């Protein structure tokens, strides 16, 4: 299959034989050279594709990143293109590090910006966790000792990665040439796209030869080789998107949030970022690899502290030295974290004699209960933990808006369980969707003009990240159950039946608040029949067919 790069193409998937997109008619080869064969990821600032370089006889894989941004006039694009070229030079410098993908090309086409980077063959630490089980102390030390020097390198170049997480740390395969022959990337070489007839025959012969050679080796020996190399390969830091190195420029406004919420440092969720923010994300990544638990659940919001040790398996051994290093990395206060990757490395080097002590890897866990003061829930299996955490990815949220409202910040705050800030952001996006000024009070009747797409997006984010406790649709269900009795509804969701002078009086910004408690009604103007907002909202939810 080949894939179209055109933004908004209704049918981007195309058969291998296609030269032009069947959906929009665009020529499929970028620069008459690069052919996308598989989308890898999509974020607020661009898309990433696995591609083939058609100009090199071996048709090697590469990764293409398409940078997307909105501009209002041609000058904005010219500025963006100029900055893009400047920052591509910096990415080229980064690629000289052996643990950072090399920049192969950068170009502009159809007023879109692209970079082409080296394809890293291997498995992410997220995949490694799924396949091999929780990380041992020895493996965590290995992650720290390999990635901290990379962070030191990029920070010295005045670049901050901003999105350190297991899925962006890839252990490079260090297989010998024969083993590489036996292990093509997934099934992507099974039918190479847009090859000439002679090339197709050569590929088919090559694949048959690989299969015959593969049959010579026993399955057991092959697995042992792969497992050994997964453990010993260098860890590469991937996903250096252009947006991350352009953040300090005029292209992206101050306060732009980039990253994955659950691995973000607190200051990053507010739009501020420092080298120490990467250190925090690396520390949280280690916690996830040790426990398999969503980082958000490892933090005790009531006591404002991490409780990750309560979720360790009974088979795990974590030394005081590793605990000390991790706790400094994940400190919410910047002044209590390591000042730099270099400082963290020096601290680790002082523990060198202990780092090399072999600790038996934990490849499976028994179902045990975390050591919490109160009666804890039954600990799920490792696979269940991973599914629970990564069953949703913020990048997959349909952040649709009929009027161009950006819901990224609301998404981030909700994923971080920052309920009060999320409630305030909800007010702002409602104003934006209704084309009102920021923090303007909204009349109940105004809700009739709220686009369905925007209402669906806001509601979806609240329901999803509260696990079905909060959201407009949840409030509507309760409103219907009370037979549209506003007083009884308020009693059910924990609201006052009147508007207090302090709008936050009686509001609980926590997950344990009554079901339907959030989002609040603080944005409704407190004049006239203000309580009718719920009636109008209920009708709007029905009109928009929101469940």
Whether 419 is covered by a domain: the verdict is: yes
In this structure, are 377 and 498 located in the same domain? no
Whether 195 is covered by a domain: the verdict is: no
In this structure, are 59 and 105 located in the same domain? yes
Rounded Cα gap, residues 268 and 536, in angstroms: 37
In this structure, are 15 and 39 located in the same domain? yes
Q: Within its chain, how far is the Cα of 341 from the centroid?
A: 23
Whether 504 is covered by a domain: the verdict is: yes
Per-residue pLDDT at 45:
63
Give residue-wise pLDDT tens across range 502-543.
Answer: 888 889 999 989 999 999 998 887 565 667 788 899 999 999
Task: Write the CATH number for 250.
Answer: 1.10.510.10
Which residue did the predictor score with more confidence, 322 or 203?
A: 322
Rounded Cα gap, residues 530 and 520, in angstroms: 13
Give residue-wise pLDDT tens across range 194-238.
Answer: 334 344 344 344 434 444 444 443 333 333 332 333 357 899 998
By annotation, the residues acting in catalysis are: 163
Whether 192 is covered by a domain: the verdict is: no
Provide the mean pLDDT of the chain: 78
Per-residue pLDDT at 258:
59
Domain count for the chain, please give it. 4
In this structure, are 418 and 329 located in the same domain? no
For the entire predicted model, the pTM comes to 0.57
In this structure, are 433 and 332 located in the same domain? no
In this structure, are 244 and 372 located in the same domain? yes
Q: What's the mean pLDDT in 289-309?
A: 89
Whether 57 is covered by a domain: the verdict is: yes
C-alpha dist (Å) from residue 122 to 95, 227, 513 = 17, 11, 44
Whether 90 is covered by a domain: the verdict is: yes
Residue where one domain finishes, among candidates 341, 369, 390: 390
In this structure, are 207 and 289 located in the same domain? no
Whether 507 is covered by a domain: the verdict is: yes
Per-residue pLDDT at 520:
94
With a cut of 80, say whether residue 186 has pLDDT above it. no
Rounded Cα gap, residues 248 and 243, in angstroms: 10
Domain that holds residue 209: 177-185+200-232
Task: Write the CATH number for 79.
Answer: 3.30.200.20
Give residue-wise pLDDT tens across range 347-403.
Answer: 998 876 444 533 333 223 233 333 333 334 444 454 444 444 443 344 467 799 999
Per-residue pLDDT at 8:
81
Per-residue pLDDT at 453:
95
Whether 485 is covered by a domain: the verdict is: yes
In this structure, are 405 and 497 located in the same domain? yes
In this structure, are 249 and 327 located in the same domain? yes
Q: Give Cβ neighbours of residue 204 (< 8 Å, ≥ 6 apart).
A: none
Rounded Cα gap, residues 53 and 545, in angstroms: 46
With a cut of 70, say whether residue 14 has pLDDT above it. yes
In this structure, are 213 and 339 located in the same domain? no
In this structure, are 503 and 412 located in the same domain? yes
**CA-closest candidate to residue 287, choices 318, 314, 315, 308:** 308
With a cut of 60, say whether residue 68 has pLDDT above it. yes
Residue where one domain finishes, among candidates 356, 390, 424: 390
In this structure, are 409 and 532 located in the same domain? yes
């Amino acid at each position: 299959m080949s894939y179209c790069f055109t933004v908004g193409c209704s049918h981007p998937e195309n058969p291998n034989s296609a030269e032009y997109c069947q959906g929009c008619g665009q020529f499929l080869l970028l620069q008459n050279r690069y052919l996308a064969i598989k989308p890898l990821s999509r974020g607020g600032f661009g898309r990433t594709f696995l591609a083939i370089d058609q100009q090199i006889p071996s048709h090697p894989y590469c990764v293409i990143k398409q940078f997307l941004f909105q501009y209002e006039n041609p000058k904005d694009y010219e500025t963006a293109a100029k900055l893009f070229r400047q920052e591509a030079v910096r990415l080229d410098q980064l690629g000289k590090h052996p643990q950072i993908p090399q920049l192969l090309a950068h170009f502009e086409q159809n007023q879109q910006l692209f970079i082409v980077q080296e394809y890293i063959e291997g498995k992410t630490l997220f995949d490694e966790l799924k396949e091999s089980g929780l990380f041992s102390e020895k493996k965590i030390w290995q992650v720290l000792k390999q990635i901290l020097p990379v962070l030191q390198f990029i920070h010295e170049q005045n670049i901050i990665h901003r999105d350190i997480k297991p899925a962006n740390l890839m252990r490079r395969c260090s297989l010998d040439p024969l083993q590489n022959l036996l292990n093509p990337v997934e099934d992507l070489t099974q039918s190479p796209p847009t090859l000439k007839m002679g090339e197709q025959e050569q590929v088919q012969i090559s694949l048959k030869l690989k299969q015959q050679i593969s049959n010579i080796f026993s399955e057991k020996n092959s697995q042992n080789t792969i497992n050994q190399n997964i453990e010993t390969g260098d860890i590469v830091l991937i996903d250096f998107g252009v947006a991350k190195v352009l953040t300090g420029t005029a292209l992206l406004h101050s306060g732009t949030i980039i990253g994955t919420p659950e691995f973000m440092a607190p200051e990053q969720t507010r739009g501020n970022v420092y080298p120490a923010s990467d250190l925090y994300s690396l520390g949280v990544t280690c916690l996830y690899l040790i426990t398999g638990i969503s980082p958000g659940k490892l933090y005790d919001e009531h006591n404002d502290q991490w409780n990750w040790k309560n979720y360790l398996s009974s088979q795990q051994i974590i030394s005081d030295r590793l605990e000390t290093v991790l706790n400094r990395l994940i400190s919410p206060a910047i002044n209590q974290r390591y000042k730099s990757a270099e400082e963290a490395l020096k601290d680790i080097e002082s523990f060198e004699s202990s780092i090399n002590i072999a600790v038996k890897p934990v490849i499976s866990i028994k179902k045990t209960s975390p050591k919490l003061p109160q009666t804890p829930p039954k600990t799920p299996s490792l696979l269940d933990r991973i599914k629970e955490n990564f069953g949703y990815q913020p990048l997959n949220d349909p952040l649709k808006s009929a009027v161009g409202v950006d819901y990224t910040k609301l998404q981030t705050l909700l994923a971080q369980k920052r309920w009060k800030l999320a409630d305030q952001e909800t007010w702002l996006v409602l104003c934006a969707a209704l084309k009102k000024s920021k923090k303007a009070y909204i009349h109940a009747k105004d809700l009739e003009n709220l686009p369905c797409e925007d209402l669906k997006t806001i509601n979806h984010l609240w329901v999803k990240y509260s696990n079905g406790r909060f959201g407009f649709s949840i409030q509507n269900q309760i409103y219907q159950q009370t037979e549209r009795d506003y007083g009884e509804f308020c009693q059910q969701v924990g609201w006052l039946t009147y508007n207090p002078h302090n709008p936050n009086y009686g509001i609980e910004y926590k997950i344990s608040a009554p079901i339907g408690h959030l989002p609040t009604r603080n944005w409704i103007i407190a004049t006239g029949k203000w309580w009718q907002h719920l009636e109008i909202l209920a009708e709007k939810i029905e009109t928009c067919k929101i469940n």
